Structure 1
Amino acid sequence: MGIDMDKDGRVGCSYYIAIDGALFVEEDIFMGGIEAVETILLRVQPTTILVPARALGVLVEFLERGAQRLESDEASDNKQGLHILRHLGSAEFDYDAGKVILAKVDLGPNLPDFLEVESTAEHSANYVGSPDHSNLMRLAKTINLESYLSIGCAGAVVNDLNRRISIESLDTDAERPLAFQIRSMKMSTPADTMLMSADALISLQIIRSELHPNPQIQCSNRSQPKLNECLSVSGLLQGFACTAQGKAKLRRMLFRPSTDVKLIHERQRAIATFLRVENHEALLGIRKHLRKIKNTKTLLLHVRKGVDRMRGQLSLRTGDWKVLLRFAMASIQLRESVSSLLGSSDIDSISKIRSDIDPRIFISIGETILKTINFKLSMETGRTEILTGASDNLDELRREFAHVCQILPEIKGELLRDIPEWAAEHIHHCTVIPQLGFLVAVTLNPETGEGVYSGQELTGDAWHISFISEDLVYYKTSAMADLDLQHGDLSARIADEEIRVAMELAAVVLEHENAIVQASELFGEFDSLLSLAFAAEKYGWVAPEMTTSNIIDILDGRHPLQELLVSSFIPNNCRIAGGVGGTGAEDKYLAISGDDEATDPSMLILTGPNNSGKSVYMKQVALIVYLAHIGSYVPATRATIGITDQILTRIATRETVVDDESAFLVDLKQAAFSMNFATRRSLLLIDEFGKGTTMEAGAALFAAYLIHFLDLDMEKPKVLVGTHFHEIFEHGFIGPRDGVAFAHMEVRLNPEAQDAEDQLTFLFKLLEGRDERSLGVLCAAINDIPSDVIKRASYIVSLQESNEDLVEAYENSREFDQGRLEEAELVARRFLAIKIPRTGRGREDISRIRAMLEEVLSIHDEDTDMYSEDRVPT
């Protein structure tokens, strides 16, 4: 991946996927900043990142945090990073150079150009009709040439690929370089995509990956550490996918939630079809077939290497042929099973499987493999074996080899007739060995290092040692040389013929490479939709109604992850609406101008006790909106979701020791991002903003933050807020007004209960109105904070609630603390006044010193009455 960012925060990116041979060029993201970079890294997960030498320090510092440490310092804790970071010359990221490089990428035959103009060698791209100009015009059809940073990044990526190809081409055995070829070029655009920042993806637990706890598994046969998916929406849904292709498709859906209502409805129709009762048994069978589908891109890469890079042996394992055979057979069965699903005639993904997958191709592939590979014998020998009948020439060579093996005892008999009788017992056998031919095995004489018999008393026959193995010496005789001339190296000829047959089989498979890849992609898309259906069935999700109205209306919504961790989950409703836009304002999601007045609040402010479920409620609303935009069903009884262009969060403060930013500064950056980029189609989640500074400053910033969105009037976004800053409402900074609603989570108090756990009961039910109670001290007691701390905190809270001066109250009413201080001072003075004699370390000496210390610590009863525990205020 190549990535760059300018001083204004514009981000450009391009990346290459080796297994697909695809080069992706992202559109420049204006004012994206590090947040956009982090989101791209989460989505793409690159193994190598290229940056220009002139890259901004903030970008380099951010990328270095997750980079692999190549130094050999064993004490480095971050040696095993997620990617390799490489710095290239800034000239490689030049826009003009990148544009020319992309124009020269060969993606196949070009269309004829009907305008021919004589070109010059210099600046030929500027002349209309020149080859370079034609290439640029053709490139402009698929790539936005105004994405200056991204095109520069793409040029750096292509240059790096060319360097890798040049290195690989140095291999003289290779007929042509295979890896790092660009077979397709695509432009990734944010159009029709709901934007999700990295903060939103992590805060809402849409993704949540961590390094695998086993260090050996982390780095086993991988170019980057293995990540373990924790409890997250991604892990939840991908657990239902049966194929690697399905997991990849599902991941792309998760990272690119759509705002295209047509696409969302298409996915919902597919899920509805899969959930029909009459299709249940058929889908169980389909899942069994899907589990037989492997990643064909990797297999085809092995096949292609087997054709182009034969080095005297079959490079394809038997297991690869078996997987291809299973894929061919499963493809035929899957096409028939999918086509038989009831109500699937109008499902686009199923229609493509029915029309684009030709069963005759896969029948031909399967029959060819079955007629070529002997799977049973291959399993026994551990190598790829060719079936009898696959090649007449191979069968003839095998018969000849079998005949030679049969006559070897006769050859030994003829040899024994010619040699002395005493030597017969030292001749073990005659054999044929690949590359060495026919040989005679003789007992080794350890003293001479030669055979006990080596052709003595034979005239005209010289015995030459070929090699020595353990207690045998192998000789080449004139008779063995004659057999070599007569039959040749049969083993090598058989191996060559087997390779030729395997290459022919590989060529047959590669003739249908596009059909295999297309089928694999279609099955992956089907698998991803099927996983959404099985998740909806298992967890009781329903189809949301997608609307162009700017509202969120949820009945009995649930958190898709939290409900898995509790015995019973209390559902809650939500109804908010964003601005409708000014009179005559055009909305790309509406067919008409949005000039209706909004009657529902745009901002819902949640107050009430800690740990009552406010944050879970806010997150569940956002996750329901998010799931609706990927085309999934949602955890609710009913949901009407308006098209949302982005979800912005100010929830989690992600601190790390490698940052030089305070927690409050991180919060401010998240808040600034939401204020700069939110539209009336956006959903904002604001939880406990302003808590990182003084109460007065935090409350002031929080109030101004909310008022900013409320003052947007017709352009105000949908906002969910959680706070404990009650003073801004009590003093009227934000009071009852249009667009604001208050709610809280219901709790029950029982002050008479002895145990703290029984005094507070959370009901997790959303009620209208504001609750001024925070009950933080009681929550602390429930969570095992020491009783003396709870007692002191309760006393301070009581003083605050009565509006007393804490300093004065502390001085006048905390006599117990004052007495303790005086007592401590008295003990300290007594200790300094005593004279400890220089004594030995005997028992009597130690007892004398202990008695002196006890006298120092002794306080008369009349001196301590005023400090009694009974005097502690409650």
Structure 2
Amino acid sequence: MQSLAAKLTFDLTSSGEVLVSLYSSLLDQIRTQEMAAFKQPQKRRQSSGQNSSRNTRGRAPSVATSTRSDTTSGSRYAASRRSSAGSSRSQASNHATPTPGARLERSASVASSRTFNGISERQAATEPPSDGLGLDEDNLSEVIMAVNMLPRGLVGCAYYVARDEKLYFMEDVKIGGPDVIDALKLFIDPTVVLVSSKCVDEVFNRLDPETRNARASVDGRSGDQTRLPYLLECRPNAEFGYEAARNKLVNLRMGQPTGPKVTFVVPGDIVAHEDISTNLEGGFAGRQGQLLRLAGWINMESRITVGCAGAVLSYLQRRRVTTYLPGDKAAASMFRVGTVEMFSLSGSMFVNADTLLSLQITSTECHPNAQNQGPASRGWSSGGSKEGLSVYGLFHYFARTSQGRLLLRQYFLRPSLNRAVIDERLDTISVLLRPDNASLFDQLGEMLSKIKNIRLVTANLRKGISSGLTKSRSVSTSVWPTLREFVFYSLLLYDHMTELAGGEGLAIRAKILQRFEKQQLAAVGTLITVVVDFEATREQRRTVVLAGVDGELDEIKRTYDGIESLLHEVTNHIAGNVPAELNAKINVIFFPQIGFLIACPVEADTGAGVFEGPINDPWEKMFVTEVSAYYKNSNMGELDERFGDIYGRICDKEIEIVQELGERILEYEEALHDVSDICGELDSLVALAKGAKQHNFVRPRLTDENIIKIKGGRHPLQELTVPSFVANDTYLVGGAGTEPGAAPFINHSPQPGHDGSVSEGPSMVLMTGPNYSGKSVYLKQVAIIVYMAHIGCYVPADAAKIGLTDKILTRISTRESVSRIQSAFMIDLQQISVALSLATRRSLLIIDEFGKGTESNDGAGLAAGVFEHLLQRDAESPKVLGATHFHEIFEAGFLQPRPSLSFAHMEVRMDTQASQVDDQITYLYNYRPERSTSSFGTICAAMNGIEPSIIEKADQLLLLASKGADLVEVCAELPGAELAELEDAETIAREFLATEINECQPRKLVDDLVTLASSTDGAS
């Protein structure tokens, strides 16, 4: 008997003829199936009680002949439900005998860490749909971070990415602080955050500002978690212990057993002889051996970080215990730690939450569909929120794969300081946007849209979920079509990348050509194509094996198809014993797991069948439906004994074959994951290229010089909301440094300022001018252009030369909240304090109207002090863009002119003769050097509906203030009407005092006073 393994086995290192044949066959079969999808399917023939030749694929139920239930798993529960509803499927006669084949042979080279836990499809029929792809997508989306900070500022952090099965460590930060916690939170973007119960209070305040000093319970979670973008848990400090964490790491089994096997045992290690052979699978035996192995990957001396890793591993173990029953082998595939790696923040630009919010890099808003609204977190809800108006939002919808969208978001949250990485991305975008690659560029997006996240597929395959078919999920989204489509379009993508004009030096092209194992991909596609019958799978909604794969299975199917004619003869035989006067229509039906049954009509009065067998041999009633009663007799018993549950045997046999197919596919798991990750990287780069083309961005020039030179810069979001946008230039030069090697994150950079490569220019530009003239938009657009350049993305400008910038620090927006005890001005001070403490000569500071939240003299003094402090750094001065309305700091000479300080304003045009207030000022939004002397605040007030009398009074006070008048004295002067009233009152009082009350009559005195008051009122 010819085996399938013999048919599929070929030498992967032999000549390429076999590969080309298999590859061509795979392409032809997939193209044929895709073309057939557009054609109208033929109508199925209905059974009419006659013998008809049919195959085992789905057919309509028959009344006159035997039927079998349309169940995908063959479970007794599913069969009984369908049988009670009268939904059955008719049997078919024999068809042509296919070429016999043998079952799939299991490969002996399957790695021990790659297991395939088969789950019977007959059992899967009773499982809820939520055990399919949806739950695994949530699990794979989780990022668990543990962080701890000691009172002296020692910070450690470890996090686990479920999608990559990697546990990441960082070096302990010796002199850290709460700002490091914020940076880690933004860098990792976790879904779960674990903190120690003995962690300093400031960490809790940063992770959950609303609770402040209120701690979460040790074994529970803090209150209302829906207000946070992650799940915050406070765990006992014992889970962060160094020794316990080291023991957990020692027990991990990671990597593949390659190379020589070494037994490393020291005194104190108790290892039995049988344990040595087991531990050899990991390469070393014994505790010390495993510690040596770990020390080759991570720094075990970072005690705080190692303790955080132990807390992460404890959390993963708790999740496994609560998800699976004890002894379930599938638990090993959930949250498995495949590798450990070190990570560092030094290779990324430092940005905090204030910067991301102020520049609108990312923005999450509530989903407009009320049914999809929920917590904005991947781990909680896949559709609870949507991307709002943001810089990332300009690109993310161009990404076609889930892994590509995830990587693209990481690009925007982690701007790089590695020029090689940035230039690689920019070079790729440049090649993709070449005119001669236009057609190929469009095809790449279409091909990438067909490539799914293969890590999710293999995760389900390891658990034995091979179909994933439900009422709401079609066969096209199950494992086998997804894998076959992935292989096809990956190979197609390989061919297209070879045709990419000008792409010879691209890193992504080299990855595809070198790491796309065409032979292995073709082998995976061929395995699936020659085993799975996709047409029958679509009809029967379960994985069906093609004819010719297994001879025993083919024989059972032929017998099953031939039962129909046999049942027709048995039906005629039984019907002959039924009295003719009953005129009863008797059928013989087969139900999986129930067997062969006699069906006859039911009497409406009694609820029993019209005929229940001869008196000497009565039939045994099995069950009754609304229209039929089902019985067994000796003939049915003979059929049951001869054929048994033949449909169940077919399902069981196909399940075994499919399970072995899955084991064979998992041999190529690492290659498939590698291809999937590379496709995600290409997808993110294609999204950046499409966004650049859509919005007319240009390539920036990255340089080691500490300079920002932008020509025709634009704000990428503002220009989408206005009919026309006025572009402006920017020129800033940071400090040259006081010593060689002043930029530690640039190993190869020439020192600017020492070789004359950097031109002279200001390190600080202060902008003044009217409100609503575009100052804030200008400040933000410069910061956004610098930010996008470090992502490796094209920028909104005519040209841009950007020096590497280690930090972008902003004081633009104030995030006030009733849960924060700080006032708006105190929040402004905290932002400035962070900026001043972190800024280096390579940093960019954006300061917009600092000091406006307090008394004007104090605010002006603080603003002048901050600007003067930054200017006095000289060679270590950062690049600063500021805006202020405190003109007194210039007029009083608090900021002396110097080459490093420049002034500018946004141009406006005044027309004092205009009758309408709106026509008195025209905003031109043009960047102009020199300082503006007025903010035109009263005109802005008039344009926004303030009363004219208020505007007039304000203008008078401004004029007097400009002349140096005492405003207190001016405001103390009384108006003319009030002054006349006081004079009248004084006249009445004096007349009253001059009257001799004792000498006159009281009545006459009152009349005289009234007369005097009347005459005074009349005179006034």
User: When the two structures are superposed, what TM-score results if normalisation uses the length of structure 2?
Assistant: 0.75
1:102 aligned onto 2:249: yes
Aligned to 1:558: 714
2:629 paired with 1:473: yes
1:367 aligns with 2:526: yes
Residue 722 of structure 1, CA deviation: 1.0
Aligned residue number for residue 266 of structure 2: 118
> What amino acid is aligned across from residue 267 of structure 2 in structure 1?
S
Give the one of 137, 140, 152 matched to 2:295. Answer: 140
- Displacement of 1:861 in angstroms is 13
Correspondence for 1:293 among 451, 458, 462: 451
Q: Alpha-carbon deviation of 1:60?
A: 2.8
* Contact 1:318/1:375 (<8 A) preserved: no
2:713 is aligned with 1:569: no
Kindly state the Cα deviation for residue 680 of structure 1 after the two structures are TM-superposed: 0.9
Indicate if the aligned counterparts of 1:66 and 1:83 stay in contact, CA closer than 8 A: no
Q: Which residue of 1 aligns with 2:574?
A: 415
CA distance in structure 1 between the aligned counterparts of 2:682 and 2:982, rounded to whole angstroms: 75
- What is the distance in 2 between the residues matched to 1:448 and 1:486? 34
- Tell me the SS of whatever aligns to 2:365: strand
Which secondary structure state, in structure 1, belongs to the residue aligned with residue 535 of structure 2?
helix
Please state if 1:341 is matched with 2:500. yes
1:196 alignment partner, SS class: coil
Alignment of 1:26-65 (within 5 A): 26-29=170-173, 33-64=177-208
The equivalent of 1:433 in structure 2 is 591
Equivalent residues of 2:367, 2:385 under 8 A apart? yes
Q: What is the 5 A alignment of 1:505-516?
A: 505-516=661-672
2: CA distance between counterparts of 1:298 and 1:860? Answer: 97
CA contact (8 A) 1:550 1:643 kept: yes
Distance in 2, Cα, partners of 1:583 & 1:164: 52
Match of 2:464, SS?
Answer: helix
- Give the counterpart of 1:89 among 226, 231, 236: 236
Paired position in structure 1 for 2:488: 329
**1:302 aligns to 2:446 (yes or no):** no
Q: Give the residue type in structure 1 aligned to 2:191.
A: T
Q: Aligned match of 1:238 in 393, 396, 403?
A: 396
- 451, 467, 481: which one aligns with 2:609: 451
The residue that corresponds to 2:561 in the other structure is 402
What CA distance in whole angstroms lies between the structure 2 residues aligned with 1:414 and 1:222? 64
Which residue pairs with 1:501 in the alignment? 657
**Match runs of 1:782-797 below 5 Å:** 782-797=943-958
**1:241-291: CA deviation from partner (whole Å, max 9, x where unpaired):** 222222122112212211112222222221221121111111112221111
Q: Does 1:281 align with 2:428?
A: no
Q: Which amino acid aligns with 2:532?
A: I
Q: What is the rounded CA distance, in whole Å, between the counterparts of 2:460 and 2:475 in structure 1?
A: 9
Alignment of 1:582-597 (within 5 A): 582-588=738-744, 589=746, 590-593=748-751, 596=754
CA–CA distance in structure 2, aligned partners of residues 234 and 27 of structure 1: 30
Is residue 781 of structure 2 the alignment partner of residue 620 of structure 1?
Answer: yes
CA distance in structure 2 between the partners assigned to 1:576 and 1:802 by the alignment? 36
Whether 2:790 is the aligned partner of 1:629: answer yes
SS of residue paired to 1:529: helix
Stretch deviating more after TM superposition (553-562 or 1-10): 1-10
Structure 2 equivalent of residue 163 of structure 1: 318
1:211 corresponds in structure 2 to 366
Please state if 1:542 is matched with 2:698: yes
| Residues 367-400 of structure 1, C-alpha deviations (whole Å, 9 max, x = no match) | 3333333333444444444333444333322221
- Indicate if the aligned counterparts of 2:178 and 2:203 stay in contact, CA closer than 8 A: yes
What CA deviation, in whole Å up to 9, does each residue of 1:98-120 have, x standing for no partner?
23323432113467687955231
Partner amino acid for 1:13? C
Work out which of the residue numbers 857, 862, 878 in structure 2 matches 1:696: 857
Given candidates 15, 19, 22, the residue that maps to 2:163 is: 19
Structure 1 vs Structure 2 CA RMSD: 3.4
Structure 1 SS opposite 2:602: strand
For residues 345-371 of structure 1, the C-alpha deviation after alignment (integer angstroms, 9 at most, x for no partner) is 111110110121122333333333333
Segments of 5+ residues of structure 2 without an aligned counterpart are 1-143, 218-222, 271-283, 985-1012
| Alpha-carbon distance between aligned partners in 2 of 1:316 and 1:304, rounded to the nearest angstrom | 21
Counterparts in 2 of 1:814 and 1:207: CA distance versus 1, 3 Å: farther
The 5 A counterparts of 1:687-766 are: 687-766=848-927
Aligned pairs (5 A) from 1:129-208: 131-170=286-325, 174=329, 177-208=332-363
Aligned residue number for residue 647 of structure 1: 808
Encode CA deviations 1:109-166: one digit per residue, 9 max, x unaligned.
46768795523159xxxxxx99333333332333233544332221101011122233
TM-score w.r.t. the length of structure 1 is 0.86
Which secondary structure does the structure 1 equivalent of 2:898 belong to?
Answer: coil
Amino acid in structure 2 at the alignment position of 1:230 = G
2:116 aligned residue = none
Equivalent position to 1:660, from 812, 821, 828: 821
Q: Distance in 2 between matches of 1:95 and 1:540?
A: 53
Q: Tell me if the contact between 2:365 and 2:386 (Cα under 8 Å) persists in the aligned partners.
A: yes
Question: Aligned with 1:239: secondary structure?
Answer: helix
Distance 2:484 2:778 in 1: 50
Which residue is equivalent to 1:526? 682
Cα pair 1:100 1:136 within 8 Å, conserved: no
Alignment CA distance shift 1:138-1:475 (3 Å): same
Give me the whole-angstrom Cα distance separating, in 1, the residues matched to 2:526 and 2:690: 34
3-state DSSP class of the match of 2:503? coil
Amino acid at match of 2:733: A
What's 2:428 paired with? Answer: 270
* Aligned-pair CA distance for 1:543: 2.0
Q: CA deviation at 1:775?
A: 1.0
Change (3 A) 1:162 1:763: same
Alpha-carbon spacing, 1:544–1:222, altered in 2? closer, same or farther (3 Å): closer
Q: Structure 1 29/464 Cα, relative in aligned 2: closer, same or farther at 3 Å? A: farther
Q: What is residue 969 of structure 2 aligned with on the other side? A: 808
SS of residue matched to 1:119: coil
* 1:819/1:497 CA distance change after superposition, 3 Å: farther
| Structure 1 contact 655–663 (Cα < 8 Å) conserved | yes
* Stretch of structure 1 that moved more, 372-381 or 605-614: 372-381
Check the 8 A contact 1:438/1:476 in 2, yes or no: yes
CA apart distance, 1:494: 1.4
8 A Cα contact 1:176 1:308, kept in partner: no
- CA offset at residue 419 of structure 1? 4.6
CA separation of 1:78 and 1:783: change in aligned 2, threshold 3 A: farther
Residues 1:486 and 2:642 are matched in the alignment: yes
Query: Deviations 1:394-416 (Å, cap 9, x if unpaired)?
Result: 33222211211222121122122
User: Does structure 2 conserve the Cα–Cα contact (< 8 Å) formed by 1:427 and 1:440?
Assistant: no
Structure 1 CA distance for aligned equivalents of residues 475 and 148 of structure 2: 42
On the 8 A contact 1:210/1:228 being kept in 2, the answer is: yes
Contact 2:407 2:681 in 1 (8 A): yes
If asked which structure has higher relative contact order (CA below 8 Å, sep 6+), I would say 2
**Alignment length (residue pairs):** 817
Taking the aligned partners of 1:201 and 1:265, their CA distance within structure 2 comes to 23
Q: CA deviation at 1:6?
A: 3.4
Inter-partner Cα distance in structure 2 for 1:248 and 1:819: 77
Alpha-carbon distance in 1 for matches of 2:321, 2:263: 35
Once structures 1 and 2 are overlaid, which stretch shifts more, 448-457 or 556-565?
448-457
Distance 1:820 1:301 in 2: 91
Structure 2: distance between partners of 1:864 and 1:92: 92
Q: Is the 8 A contact 1:318 1:384 kept in 2?
A: no
**1:709–1:717 Cα contact (<8 Å) kept:** yes
AA of the residue aligned to 1:241 = A
Structure-2 separation of matches of 1:694 and 1:398: 90
